[in-house]
Amino acid sequence: MKKILFSLIVLVALNSAAYASNCNDGDHTAGHSHEDGMATGLSSGIKSENIIDVATNGMVCDFCAQAIEKVFMKREEVQGIKVDLDNQKVVIYLKDNTSIDDAEIVKLFEDSGYGVDKINKTS
């Protein structure tokens, strides 16, 4: 049993090391730039001046945040997103000269199981 446990620990450590080295191989393709996400504090993507600020309700955990990120990052118009669970806010950064209708935003949130209290747009 000890040998099996030790083997599993070694495999996990090797896998983690391989992932970390792949992350630093210089291949920073679209959507994989540490500077963009880390410097801006975004969950994914990068900031823009075309912003939608959504006050939500019903998001309580990291899985909620990941679900919303996944839904919106699939959209062609979306450049980045920041989910603030503590304040029940989602900031969506759109690509220049693009938009998403309020009705579509509400539908995407409601289809994901969350409510929308208010939508503010700035561009």
The pLDDT assigned to 4 comes to 66
The pLDDT assigned to 101 comes to 95
The pLDDT assigned to 49 comes to 85
Query: Between helices 102-111 and 62-73, what is the axis angle to 10°?
Result: 130
Residues 54 and 39 sit within 8 Å (Cβ to Cβ): no
The pLDDT assigned to 48 comes to 79
Torsion of CA 71, 77, 81, 85, to 10 degrees: -50
Query: How many Cα atoms within 13 Å fall on the side-chain side of residue 107?
Result: 5
Q: What is the rounded distance in angstroms from the CA atom of residue 44 to the CA atom of residue 61?
A: 17
For the chain of 123 residues, list the mean pLDDT of each consecutive stretch of 10: 60 47 40 42 73 95 94 94 95 94 97 96 84
The pLDDT assigned to 121 comes to 93
Domains of the chain (ranges, CATH numbers): 39-123 (3.30.70.100)
